[in-house]
Homo-oligomer: A and B are copies of this chain.
Amino acid sequence: MAKKGNIIVGQSGGPTSVINSSLAGVYKTAKERGFHKVYGMLHGIQGFLDEQYVDLSTQIHSDMDIELLKRTPSAFLGSCRYKLPEIHENPEIYEKIFQILDKLNIEVFIYIGGNDSMDTIKKLSDFAIVKGHRQKFLGVPKTIDNDLALTDHTPGYGSAAKYIGASTKEIIRDALGLTYKKDMVTVIEVMGRNAGWLTGATALARTEDCEGPDLIYLPELVFDIDKFLKKIKDLLKKKSSVVVAVSEGIKLEDGRYVCELSGGADYVDAFGHKQLQGTAAYLAGFVKNEIGCKTRSVEFSTLQRSASHMASRVDINEAFMVGGAAVKAADEGDTGKMVVIDRVSDDPYMSAAGIYDVHKIANNEKLVPRNWVNREGNYVTEDFINYIEPLIQGDYQPFMVNGLPQHLVLRR
């Protein structure tokens, strides 16, 4: 058997609690399968173009380091939001990438990321095939948003959902304790521009010891602010603490984002996405003005994607699994593919890694199906909850040092 060359792995897009568990899975399987060196590109393809990379064996020295990496949030290697141009627009950039790959004797290129990252895998594998380059390109899914097609769910989603469920329970309890003979409406804002997977996860708080949120609004459906207000008024006749969860991206019928009603500034990121903020703050102010009761807004903000101290064991394990599966697939000759998670069984929950053509995945956004939202459009259904519940089970105890969770840090 010919001696194997090297492998390189990068991370891209928004961080999650478990993106490093996929990195750990790539590293461990690559070593087990006899790849010579495992390189990590720093800040994804953007850093790679600047020849920013490390030999991961200088960072990971033991099984203990691998366990620590699995418990470390955000991209260990650094991330980027960098979209490759179309091949015909700028072939030079592709030539440069392959020059660096050849120089480093790279045989396998693995990219951990979301929709935009799968676009990178698609373009690079297309270019390699057309030009006859030997490298294999494999994608590993990652996004708290859970909006990737063809995979049952994405690594990162379960942990974000677990954090959202636990924090929603805590917020509901906090409000309950404070509402004697006075009304209060709490509006929780959850990430999700177009997909309501994360906002729906607030329904997990409906447990034997908690009523859960009263209303849940996803961005897939038009938000009717008059119906919303009426619903709140009705609820306040029966209970003094009302808790509502909304996606940052909910929109009115005329297409305006609710957060735009506040007249606040809009920001646009590198991909042309509007940067939203203030949906919950706006609605809390609106309810206060209309009803006169006390209101409060809570944004989970970046905590929902980096709270590795509340990560799900199922999620960390699956993230590790898909990292390893990508190496295995590439080693067996696949390219231009993304690893997916197939749900093998619901009860007991079992999953396995599958593999799909990345052309079918890239730039497709998976939304919450209409029949997983109730008829009134203000709560998710049992089917939604049954889908998500297995994904938040179990935990990995953080490694606590001086009272705080310890993380693995890149040393240069």
A407 at the interface (CB under 8 A from B): yes
- Tell me if B393 and A170 are in contact (CB < 8 A): no
CB distance from A349 to the nearest CB of B (A): 11
- Tell me if A298 and B303 are in contact (CB < 8 A): yes
The answer for the CA separation of A408 and B210 in the assembled complex, in Å, is: 10
CB closest chain-B residue, reference A278: B281
A105 at the interface (CB under 8 A from B): no
The answer for the CA separation of A310 and B163 in the assembled complex, in Å, is: 12
CB distance from A404 to the nearest CB of B (A): 5
CB distance from A249 to the nearest CB of B (A): 17
CB distance from A245 to the nearest CB of B (A): 14
- Tell me if B171 and A79 are in contact (CB < 8 A): no
A165 at the interface (CB under 8 A from B): yes
A34 at the interface (CB under 8 A from B): no
Give chain B residues whose Cβ lies under 8 Å from the Cβ of A11: 177
A67 at the interface (CB under 8 A from B): no
0/1 string, A210-230, CB within 8 A of B gives 1:
100000000000000000000
Which of these, B174, B294, B303, contacts A74 with CB under 8 Å? B174
Q: Which residues of A367-412 have CB atoms within 8 Å of chain B's CB atoms?
A: 389, 392-395, 397, 400-409
The answer for the CA separation of A46 and B278 in the assembled complex, in Å, is: 35
A309 in contact with B310 given A174-B73, A178-B15, A404-B204 (CB within 8 Å):
yes
- Tell me if A305 and B174 are in contact (CB < 8 A): yes
CB closest chain-B residue, reference A313: B403
**How many residues in A have their beta carbons less than 8 Å from beta carbons of B?**
74
Q: Which residues of A337-370 have CB atoms within 8 Å of chain B's CB atoms?
A: none
CB closest chain-B residue, reference A275: B294
A404 in contact with B162 given A296-B302, A302-B298, A303-B298 (CB within 8 Å):
yes
A80 at the interface (CB under 8 A from B): yes
A307 at the interface (CB under 8 A from B): yes
CB distance from A137 to the nearest CB of B (A): 21
A92 at the interface (CB under 8 A from B): no
Give chain B residues whose Cβ lies under 8 Å from the Cβ of A165: 403-404
- Tell me if B301 and A299 are in contact (CB < 8 A): yes
Give chain B residues whose Cβ lies under 8 Å from the Cβ of A405: 166, 169
- Tell me if A389 and B408 are in contact (CB < 8 A): no
CB closest chain-B residue, reference A163: B309
Which of these, B205, B401, B406, contacts A404 with CB under 8 Å? B205
- Tell me if B301 and A285 are in contact (CB < 8 A): no
The answer for the CA separation of A335 and B308 in the assembled complex, in Å, is: 46
CB distance from A288 to the nearest CB of B (A): 8
Q: Which residues of A135-177 have CB atoms within 8 Å of chain B's CB atoms?
A: 162, 165-167, 169-171, 173-177
The answer for the CA separation of A79 and B177 in the assembled complex, in Å, is: 5
A285 in contact with B265 given A74-B173, A174-B306, A176-B74 (CB within 8 Å):
yes
The answer for the CA separation of A180 and B112 in the assembled complex, in Å, is: 17
Give chain B residues whose Cβ lies under 8 Å from the Cβ of A403: 162, 165, 204, 312, 389, 392-394
Q: Which residues of A269-302 have CB atoms within 8 Å of chain B's CB atoms?
A: 277-278, 281, 285, 294, 296-299, 301-302
A43 at the interface (CB under 8 A from B): yes
- Tell me if B309 and A166 are in contact (CB < 8 A): yes
Give chain B residues whose Cβ lies under 8 Å from the Cβ of A170: 73-74, 302-303, 306-309
Give chain B residues whose Cβ lies under 8 Å from the Cβ of A75: 177-178
Q: Which residues of A37-78 have CB atoms within 8 Å of chain B's CB atoms?
A: 42-43, 46-47, 72-76, 78
- Tell me if A207 and B162 are in contact (CB < 8 A): no
Give chain B residues whose Cβ lies under 8 Å from the Cβ of A204: 403-404
The answer for the CA separation of A310 and B397 in the assembled complex, in Å, is: 12
A32 at the interface (CB under 8 A from B): no
A332 at the interface (CB under 8 A from B): no
A181 at the interface (CB under 8 A from B): yes
The answer for the CA separation of A73 and B209 in the assembled complex, in Å, is: 12
